[in-house]
């Protein structure tokens, strides 16, 4: 039964009221934060200096090579090659195109917010639909292994043996979120028919289900060759575009880091952080966790590093501190969420599913870490240091040494400029190679439609 004009006017009235109240609350909050900054100017300046130090000393040099390399991978067609090659793996498990494997691998290696940068580029170039991009953002937003194993386990907790437990809980929960979000956007319609890419983006690679007998590898190389030809930029133009776009993105990230560092420091200095933490303390106590960890949880909601460091420094039980730290790392903080929002700005990717995925990731990471702690307590180290269940056999210990060294593969592979440059040279040579005229004619002859044979007319033979 259609609503009458009175009901329509009432809904419009309350909608306008809600909008006014929202604007008033935001204006009040901004005014309050400005008052805190005026009341504690020394704290604001010191926190901004600390945020700038983190950005210049850690974030900028660690992310800039990945940003530039991702642009080269897109221009040389490596992403398209992976898209065709890994479609049979990514589509059944996560319901995303094969290019999602590139976003996942770069996100694992570089950490926040590398996955958002790559996913936004995928959407602008038409390599994924809107729903597929939201699925990618749901489970590829992860911390890098060096941060978990080095900064958190060694630097904050002082326990290198806890790194593998934290990393396992973090990545297993991220993959679980990907499996859960494979059903996102599938109700009522297919995600492929989601509309074209915004802002005149190109159409993406075709959704295929290749088989080795039908030239699977050949189609992957063909997709890489076509992507390079469609890009058409020279090496100089590609270097200029990649460096310029990477610097602009990193400057936005640095601004968010400094802003949330100042916000966290002001809340801590004014004592508001502890006063507004009582609802979180009640929830922690209901879950069987030390309520004294409520202030680190509030700080972790804003900024990842500050909340994790505060949780590690408290004299609470080790399991409670690990659970809170694991949840904070998975949530990643409003600072990272702001960076992701600024990166995907201009696309049709929504932040609502992303926020829901981060909340699910935080809950699953806390549960997985508690389960892993119960199954493998820290007295039995999960790394080679002090490991108690490896037999004293030389070849067995050498195998475990090699396996333990694999956890540092991002630093070994991506931290080598010579290896990265050699890879780029090989990709440039492979993508720039043109087939010979005879080879081109042979391919055209194979791809030309074959004439069909007509049946002989039936009738009596003469």
Q: What is the pLDDT of residue 249?
A: 84
Q: What is the pLDDT of residue 212?
A: 45
Give the confidence band of 389 by pLDDT, cuts at 50, 70, 90. Answer: very low
Q: Tell me: the pLDDT tens digits for 86-115?
A: 888 888 889 888 888 888 888 887 788 888
Give the mean model confidence (pLDDT) for residues 259-267.
86
Give the confidence band of 34 by pLDDT, cuts at 50, 70, 90. Answer: confident
Give the highest mean pLDDT range of 212-216, 266-270, 322-326.
322-326
Q: Tell me: the pLDDT tens digits for 112-166?
A: 888 888 899 889 888 889 999 999 999 998 888 878 888 888 888 888 888 888 9
Residue 319 in tokens: 């399991």
Q: What is the mean pLDDT of the chain?
A: 77
Q: Is the dihedral of CA 193, 70, 422, 236 positive or negative?
A: positive
Burial class (CB in 10 A: 0-12, 13-18, 19+), 58: middle
> Which of 288, 349, 340 has the alpha carbon at shortest distance from 135?
349
Q: Tell me: the pLDDT tens digits for 402-435?
A: 555 554 444 444 445 555 555 555 554 554 455 4
Q: What is the pLDDT of residue 203?
A: 45
Higher pLDDT, 396 or 297: 297
Residue ranges of domains in the chain:
38-186+209-377
268 pLDDT more than 90: no
Q: Which of 35-44, 67-76, 92-101, 330-339 is predicted with the least confidence, judged by mean pLDDT?
A: 67-76
Q: What is the pLDDT of residue 274?
A: 77
């Amino acid at each position: 039964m259609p609503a009458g004009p009175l009901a329509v006017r009432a809904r419009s009235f309350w909608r306008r009221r809600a909008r006014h109240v929202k604007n008033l609350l935001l204006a009040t909050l901004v005014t309050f934060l400005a008052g805190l900054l005026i009341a504690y100017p020394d704290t604001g300046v010191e926190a901004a200096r600390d945020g700038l130090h983190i950005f210049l000393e850690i974030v900028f040099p660690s992310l800039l090579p990945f940003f530039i390399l991702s642009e080269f991978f897109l221009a040389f067609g490596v992403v398209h090659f992976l898209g065709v090659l890994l479609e049979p793996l990514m589509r059944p498990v996560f319901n995303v195109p094969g290019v999602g494997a590139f976003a996942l691998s770069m996100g694992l290696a570089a950490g926040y917010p590398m996955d958002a940068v790559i996913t936004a580029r995928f959407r602008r170039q038409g390599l994924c639909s809107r729903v597929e991009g939201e699925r990618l953002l749901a489970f590829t937003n992860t911390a890098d292994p060096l941060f978990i194993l080095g900064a958190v386990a060694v630097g904050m907790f002082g326990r290198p043996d806890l790194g593998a437990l934290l990393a396992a809980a973090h990545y297993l929960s991220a993959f679980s979120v990907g499996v859960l979000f494979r059903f996102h956007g599938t109700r009522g319609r297919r995600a492929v028919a989601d509309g074209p890419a915004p802002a005149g983006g190109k159409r993406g690679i075709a959704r295929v289900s290749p088989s080795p007998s039908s030239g699977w590898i050949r189609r992957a190389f063909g997709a890489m060759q076509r992507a390079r030809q469609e890009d058409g930029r020279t090496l100089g133009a590609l270097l200029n575009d990649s460096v310029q776009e990477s610097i602009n993105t990193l400057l936005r990230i640095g601004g968010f880091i400094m802003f949330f560092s100042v916000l966290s420091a002001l809340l801590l200095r004014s004592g508001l952080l502890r006063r507004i933490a009582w609802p979180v303390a009640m929830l922690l106590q209901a879950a069987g966790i030390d309520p004294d960890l409520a202030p680190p949880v509030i700080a972790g909601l804003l900024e990842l590093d500050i909340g994790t460091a505060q949780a590690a420094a408290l004299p609470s039980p080790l399991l409670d501190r690990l659970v809170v730290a694991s949840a904070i790392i998975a949530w990643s903080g409003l600072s990272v969420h702001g960076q992701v929002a600024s990166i995907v700005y201009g696309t049709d990717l929504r932040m609502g599913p992303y926020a829901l995925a981060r909340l699910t990731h935080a809950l699953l990471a806390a549960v997985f870490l508690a389960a892993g702690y119960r199954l493998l307590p820290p007295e039995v180290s999960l790394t080679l240091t002090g490991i108690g269940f490896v037999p004293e056999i030389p070849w067995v210990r050498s195998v475990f040494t090699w396996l333990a060294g694999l956890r540092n593969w991002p630093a070994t592979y991506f931290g080598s400029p010579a290896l990265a440059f050699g890879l780029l040279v090989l990709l440039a040579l492979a993508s720039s190679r043109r087939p010979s005229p005879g080879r081109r004619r042979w391919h055209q002859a194979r791809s030309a439609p074959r004439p069909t044979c007509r049946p002989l007319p039936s009738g009596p033979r003469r």
